[in-house]
Structure 1
Amino acid sequence: MARTARTVDTRRSILDVAQRIMARKGYSAVGINEVLAEAGVPKGSFYHYFASKDAFGEALLKAYFDEYIADMDRVLRQPGRSAAERLAAYWQQWRETQSLDDCQGKCLAVKLGAEVADLSESMRLALKEGTDAIVDRLERTIAEGLADGSITIDGEPRGTAQALYDMWLGASVMAKIHRSLAPLDTATTATGQLLGL
């Protein structure tokens, strides 16, 4: 299919609407027709933009992670700040945008991770690729913190980065279950301990 500017814009609009809806409801609870109606796209044209529902889900996750990673890079590359300060800013942003019900499309990995990993191999791989990219950036920033002296850890940067991401992902799920920010507060304290802050 040749991609015109209009086709790309419509496809992007469908993905943006789906991200907002699915961040609230999950993947299985949202029908394609609901997304198309909200995006103002005729029902019969879904397959003009996506080859299948799996392809749609994979595109949704890739678009989400592209946006997330770009924002993460912006936070973690702030000039004039130590690595510890940049990581603290990232975790603070996570706390503000990934918690409770009003995540406004910012918590798709939290919302869909466990749900879609067993539904679709292509979606699972998109989640794996996206979360690996997040851990890569955390690892790099931890290594920078070791070099600038703002961080001390027991172990290797990769293992610490993975443990931190796993902890924050779990804390985000627990914050939803308990409808409380307490799990994220606990993650904040544990993060400081793991990074020697």
Structure 2
Amino acid sequence: MSKRETLLFTAARLIHEKGYNNVGIKAILDEVNVPKGSFYHYFKSKEELGLSIMDFYIADTTNCLNLVEKSIEGLNQFFNIFFNRLIELSLKRGCPVGNLILELSDENERFRLKLLEWYSILERWIIEVLEEEKVANSHEKAKALIAAFEGTMLLSKLDKNDVHFEIFNKYTFYSILVV
């Protein structure tokens, strides 16, 4: 892994653990044992680093979309990829993009637009699946599914209970599709 990638992945992990505003450049550099000048060789600012982290999350989400079949079952599997990731983290941290939406969308327009880019990619893919499956009101239902997914991630983080994933899979997911 290159130094830039090491900085990016370390920063992404720290920000996922503690929040964007609670992680300074020094903490990232201390963790990877890189001098401050090296950071500025790879990133002009913490904001640029944050936007690069969002590019990583966009690529990760796109990769996960490509791993599943473009169908209702594939869509459900996609959500479960992220539920399983949160279980692997002992239901800590939540959705990294959801956390950044909560923390930064009102603070920084560049972040808001990058977060919106992530949302739009996911929304378009879901709409395509729903339209192919002849699900009525595909645009609204795509929005509802994303909101339910993010809410499920948030509540699971809050009470450290994966029952929310079971509820999403048993009730919420299919209820949104048939309404």
> TM-score category by the smaller chain?
0.7 to 0.9
Q: Distance in 2 between matches of 1:52 and 1:173?
A: 29
**Do the aligned partners of 1:100 and 1:176 also contact (CA within 8 Å) in 2?**
no
Q: Distance in 2 between matches of 1:176 and 1:106?
A: 5
- Alignment-derived partner of residue 60 in structure 1: 53
1:131 aligns with 2:138: no
1:163 aligns with 2:144: yes
- Alignment-derived partner of residue 40 in structure 2: 47
- Normalized against structure 1, the TM-score is what? 0.80
**Do the aligned partners of 1:171 and 1:187 also contact (CA within 8 Å) in 2?**
yes
- Alignment-derived partner of residue 30 in structure 2: 37
- Alignment-derived partner of residue 103 in structure 2: 115
**Structure 1 residue 14, shift from structure 2 partner:** 0.9
SS at 2:133's partner residue? helix
Specify every segment of 5 or more residues in structure 1 that has no aligned partner in the other structure, as ranges: 1-5, 78-82, 147-152
1:179 aligns with 2:160: yes
**Do the aligned partners of 1:17 and 1:39 also contact (CA within 8 Å) in 2?**
yes
CA 63–104 in structure 1, closer or farther in 2 if over 3 Å, else same: farther
SS at 1:28's partner residue? helix
More displaced, 102-111 or 186-195?
102-111
Q: Distance in 1 between matches of 2:16 and 2:91?
A: 7
Q: Distance in 2 between matches of 1:122 and 1:99?
A: 31
Specify every segment of 5 or more residues in structure 2 that has no aligned partner in the other structure, as ranges: none
- Normalized against structure 2, the TM-score is what? 0.87
Task: Give me the identity figure in percent.
Answer: 25
**Structure 1 residue 193, shift from structure 2 partner:** 1.8
Given candidates 139, 154, 173, the residue that maps to 1:191 is 173
Q: Which amino acid aligns with 2:175?
A: Q
Given candidates 17, 21, 30, the residue that maps to 2:10 is 17
CA 17–105 in structure 1, closer or farther in 2 if over 3 Å, else same: farther
CA 103–24 in structure 1, closer or farther in 2 if over 3 Å, else same: farther
Query: Which string of whole-angstrom CA distances, capped at 9 and with x for unpartnered residues, describes residues 149-194 of structure 1?
Result: xxxx4x4211111110011101211111111123333222111122
Query: Which string of whole-angstrom CA distances, capped at 9 and with x for unpartnered residues, describes residues 73-96 of structure 1?
Result: 22245xxxxx12212211222221
Q: Distance in 1 between matches of 2:87 and 2:106?
A: 24
**Structure 1 residue 47, shift from structure 2 partner:** 1.6
**Do the aligned partners of 1:11 and 1:49 also contact (CA within 8 Å) in 2?**
yes
Q: Distance in 2 between matches of 1:75 and 1:119?
A: 34
CA 30–134 in structure 1, closer or farther in 2 if over 3 Å, else same: same
Aligned residues: 178
**Structure 1 residue 115, shift from structure 2 partner:** 0.4
- Alignment-derived partner of residue 3 in structure 1: none
**Structure 1 residue 131, shift from structure 2 partner:** 1.2
Query: Which string of whole-angstrom CA distances, capped at 9 and with x for unpartnered residues, describes residues 45-91 of structure 1?
Result: 222111222111111111221122112222245xxxxx122122112
Quick check: which one's helix share is greater?
2
